Amino acid sequence: MRVAVLSGGRSSEHDVSLASGASVRAGLAQAGHDAIDVRIERGGAWLHEGSELSVTPGRGLLGAEVVFPVLHGPFGEDGTVQGLLECLDVPYVGAGVLASAVCMDKVVFKELMASAGAPQVGYVGVTEARWRSERESVEREVAALGLPVFVKPASLGSSVGIVKAEQEAAVGPALDAAFAHEGRAIVEAAAVGMEVECSVIGPTASPEASAPGEIVLRRGAGWYDFEAKYEAGGMELVVPARIPAGAREAVRELAREAFTRSGCHGLARVDFFVEGDVVLLNELNTIPGFTETSVFGKLWGASGLPYPELLDRLASIAVARHREERRYRH
């Protein structure tokens, strides 16, 4: 197939996305596809072969049979680009508009999972407006979580803007720092146990889960920060995770449930905290890091699905969804 790979984008994860896009194009070529490079500049312009690209609703994108967005963070993973691709009427890999938006917002995702009774760490969602007008009430709610806590912008990825607050006095400045990125933040209780991740692929109703992997930190600030994720030697992935067999199956089951309940499609990486047999759901990433050495691909490689075949499967799943959805009358 002719596959247009979107990378770059307007978010702070621009460079990470470019690396993911280059890897995806190489893997698609290995699988026998014609991979087209569409690069989105930091200012938002779309480029193909060095020239600005214009698109027309209903006319697809460069004659591609499927589009593969590899855009991390806002303006790419949050439903905005997915909405544009819907208007272009072209098949695309990954979650649709609603699921992308829900999973990008950490507060909304946790509230959705809480309504289903999924086990999670304690959290408090905070808007900048409420922080400015009801500071004492917010401080009481956050204090109930205990210490330390992690303060995060609600909709950024790759650990951008996250602060670990180990003292009560550090929470306020951490929230102020989060609000420099956006007007919503989340404060999460620190979880005991190891970080475990599980990759999911497939249609919404019948996803498949990989073997879970354990994140072993080698560098960084003692938690899974940007340095540990992206610097050489920052982390080690152990597959399968060294947790009880029952916990491994619980991780896989909860990963599939989160994928389906949030309406995801195509792919996701679901993150957990595990201590003994206790499994806590953390986050779901609809467009995780996508190099051949990223956790998403490595988990499937360890589960018997090599990287080029994984990309081929995802492209086929996207085309099948587009064909299925065109049967409906709007």
Nearest partner of 127 among 48, 200, 185, judged by Cα = 185
257: left (phi over 0), alpha (psi -120 to 50) or beta: alpha
Assess contact for 163 and 176: CB atoms under 8 A. no
DSSP, res 190: P
Catalytic, 283? Answer: yes
Catalytic, 158? Answer: yes
* Active-site choice (7, 285, 294, 303): 285
Residue 66 belongs to what H/E stretch? strand 66-69
Reduced to 3 states (helix: H, G, I; strand: E, B; else coil), residue 44 is: coil
The Cα–Cα gap between 246 and 87 comes to: 44
* Active-site choice (105, 271, 292, 312): 271
Residue owning tokens 């691909």: 297
The Cα–Cα gap between 176 and 169 comes to: 12
Residue owning tokens 């089951």: 253
Catalytic, 275? Answer: no
* Active-site choice (230, 248, 252, 282): 230
Catalytic, 271? Answer: yes
Catalytic, 94? Answer: no
* Active-site choice (161, 289, 297, 301): 289
Angle between helices 106-115 and 97-104 (to 10 degrees): 100
Reduced to 3 states (helix: H, G, I; strand: E, B; else coil), residue 13 is: coil
Catalytic, 307? Answer: no
The Cα–Cα gap between 305 and 213 comes to: 15
Catalytic, 289? Answer: yes
Catalytic, 252? Answer: no
Residue owning tokens 């309940």: 261
Contacts by 60-65, CB closer than 8 A, 24 or more apart: 60/88, 60/89, 60/90, 61/4, 61/85, 61/88, 61/90, 62/2, 62/4, 62/36, 62/38, 63/2, 64/1, 64/2, 64/3, 64/4, 64/36, 64/90, 65/1, 65/2, 65/3, 65/91, 65/319
The Cα–Cα gap between 25 and 101 comes to: 25
Write out the catalytic residue numbers.
13, 158, 230, 269, 271, 283, 285, 289
